[in-house]
């Protein structure tokens, strides 16, 4: 069992905030990703949870008990470091056994447990090697084995795949996810790669500039970003964001004749939130645009990226507004051609131009995360 509760935790180094106060409850069995660009405070947050860093304010609770000032070894959490931190002077077997030896476990039990973990990760053939001789992927497997061996209540992983080649990254991603589902250990996973977070996490905590921007399921942060930062950061490319003054139920977007009509369900909210004639930001994902001869919006093809399964059109509205549109890979669009398109009203989001915050709900309809359900079901069965 491990429910981790962060209550208003914050970290200041001198005068500057590395992490501004925020609260978060991580359910037992949940896989939470801390996502954000480099330097936004992800590692610091993880280190505060592990006890390797003190908090400047707030408290941390593990299953209801306040562990804010308990030492790292007391918390029964395993930390997987970005650069593996395998001890180069001892063999892989000893590396994996190392955490168990701290507990003074009998030797035979130690190696039995090591063998168990090793077979889960399929690294039997590496046991007698020194870490220095291993490839990146194998080092990461050994680091995971070392974390797993103690059966910790929670895994804290700091960009564990960051140093891997793209080829390994995807298979390791699946492996970590599989491990998580089979152990049901609460996992906090730090990454700057939104694809990784989207693929693996039950919930994503998006951070930027020491501040939590949004906490939500992958669907939430993708379809209903809380602000412009999240809208831009999630997805590749990010959400298309166009600013223009609102007049009645229409928004005048850049380019000539690009008048967008606000979908009926959102009109009221929007009219209440933005004064007449003031800017509002219209956001939509590339796949929300549908090419259509009679489309309300129009622009000139600026570039086309053939991405295999589909094509990404860069359409310029005016000299400094380019939107990305997903379209059929078979249709060719010469550069400079004019295209027209409509937006799926379900998938359009609006943002306040001054506060940059979303107007309307920031949660997509959905259920509790899969792994939390799994963990709860298992708990009940037990």
Partner 1 sequence: MANFYETGPAKPVTESVRVDKVTPGARARHNIRAAAVILFAIIGLIPIFIMVVTAFKTRADVVAVPPKVLFQPTLEGFVFLLTERVVLPPAALAEKKQSLEQLDWMERVAMASGQTITGPSDYVRRLWNSVIIAGISTLISVFLGLLAAYAFSRFPIAGKDDLLFFILSTRMLPAVVVTIPLFLMYRQFGLHDTHLGMILLYTAFNLSLAVWLLKGFIDEIPKEYEEAALVDGYSRMQAFRKIVIPQAATGIAATTVFSVIFAWNEYAFALMLTSEEARTAPPSIATMLGRGGIEWSAIAAGSLGFLIPVVIVTFILRKYLLRGVTFGAIRQ
Among 41, 152, 160, 369, binds ligand ADP (CB under 6 A): 41
Q: Which does 164 bind (CB under 5 to 8 A by kind): partner 1, Mg ion, ligand ADP, none?
A: none
3-state secondary structure of 212: strand
Q: Distance between CA 9 and CA 22 in Å, rounded?
A: 6
Among 59, 85, 250, 353, binds partner 1 (CB under 8 A): 85
Nearer to partner 1, 143 or 327 (CB): 143
Q: How far is the CB of 208 from Mg ion (least distance, A)?
A: 14
Position 15 contacts ligand ADP (CB under 6 A) = no
Q: Distance between CA 167 and CA 157 in Å, rounded?
A: 20
Does residue 321 contact residue 242 with C-beta atoms inside 8 Å? yes
3-state secondary structure of 302: strand
Among 14, 64, 88, 334, binds partner 1 (CB under 8 A): 88
Q: For residue 91, what are its two tokens? A: 């063999």
Q: Distance between CA 113 and CA 96 in Å, rounded?
A: 9
Q: How far is the CB of 43 from Mg ion (least distance, A)?
A: 3
Does residue 39 contact residue 192 with C-beta atoms inside 8 Å? no
Position 18 contacts ligand ADP (CB under 6 A) = yes
- Secondary structure E strands in 128-270: 154-158, 186-191, 203-208, 211-216, 240-247, 250-252, 259-261
Position 68 contacts Mg ion (CB under 5 A) = no
User: Which of 299, 287, 300, 305 has its CA nearest to residue 343?
Assistant: 287
Among 27, 44, 191, 258, binds ligand ADP (CB under 6 A): 44
Q: Which long-range contacts (CB under 8 A, 24 or more apart) does 54-58 make?
A: 55/9, 55/10, 55/11, 56/10, 56/11, 56/12, 57/8, 57/9, 57/10, 57/21, 58/6, 58/7, 58/8, 58/9, 58/10, 58/21, 58/23
Compute how many residues bind Mg ion; rule: CB under 5 A. 1
Q: Which does 78 bind (CB under 5 to 8 A by kind): partner 1, ligand ADP, Mg ion, none?
A: partner 1
Compute how many residues bind ligand ADP; rule: CB under 6 A. 10
Site for partner 1 in 255-294 (CB under 8 A): none
Among 33, 40, 48, 221, binds ligand ADP (CB under 6 A): 40
Q: For residue 12, what are its two tokens? A: 């200041």
Q: How far is the CB of 79 from Mg ion (least distance, A)?
A: 13
Among 72, 245, 295, 345, binds partner 1 (CB under 8 A): 72
Q: Measured at CB, which residue is nearest to ligand ADP? A: 43
Q: Which residues bind partner 1 (CB under 8 A)?
A: 50-52, 71-75, 77-79, 81, 83-90, 98-99, 102-103, 130-132, 136, 139, 146, 150, 163
């Amino acid at each position: 069992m491990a429910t981790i509760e962060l209550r208003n935790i914050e970290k200041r180094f001198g005068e500057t905030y590395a992490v501004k106060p925020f609260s978060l409850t991580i359910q037992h069995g949940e896989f939470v990703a801390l996502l954000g660009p480099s330097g936004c405070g992800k590692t610091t947050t993880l280190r505060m949870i592990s006890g390797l860093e003190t908090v400047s304010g707030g408290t941390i609770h593990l299953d209801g008990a306040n562990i804010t000032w308990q030492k790292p070894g007391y918390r029964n959490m395993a930390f997987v470091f970005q650069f593996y931190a395998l001890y180069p002077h001892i063999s892989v077997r000893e590396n994996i056994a190392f955490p168990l030896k701290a507990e003074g476990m009998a030797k035979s039990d130690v190696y039995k447990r090591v063998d168990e973990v090793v077979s889960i990760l399929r690294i039997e053939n590496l046991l007698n090697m020194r870490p220095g001789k291993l490839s990146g992927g194998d080092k990461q497997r050994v680091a995971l084995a070392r974390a797993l061996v103690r059966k910790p209540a929670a895994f804290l992983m700091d960009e564990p795949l960051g140093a891997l080649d793209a080829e390994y990254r995807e298979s390791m991603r699946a492996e970590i996810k599989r491990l998580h589902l089979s152990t049901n250990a609460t996992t906090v996973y730090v990454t700057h790669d939104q694809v990784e977070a989207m693929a693996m996490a039950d919930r994503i905590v998006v951070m930027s500039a020491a501040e939590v921007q949004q906490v939500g399921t992958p669907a939430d942060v993708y379809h209903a970003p809380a602000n412009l930062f999240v809208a831009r950061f999630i997805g590749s490319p990010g959400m298309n964001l166009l600013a223009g003054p609102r007049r009645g139920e229409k928004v005048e977007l850049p380019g000539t004749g690009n008048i967008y009509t606000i979908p009926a369900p959102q009109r009221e909210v929007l009219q209440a939130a933005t004064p007449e004639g003031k800017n509002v930001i219209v956001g939509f994902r590339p796949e929300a645009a549908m090419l259509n001869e009679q489309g309300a919006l129009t622009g000139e093809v600026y570039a086309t990226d053939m991405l295999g399964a589909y094509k990404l059109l860069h359409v310029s509205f005016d000299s400094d507004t380019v939107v990305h549109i997903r379209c059929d890979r078979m249709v060719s669009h010469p550069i400079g051609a004019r295209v027209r398109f409509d937006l799926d009203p379900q998938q359009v989001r609006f943002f306040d131009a001054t506060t940059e915050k979303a107007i309307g709900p920031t949660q997509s309809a959905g259920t509790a995360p899969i792994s939390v359900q799994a963990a709860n079901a298992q708990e009940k069965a037990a």
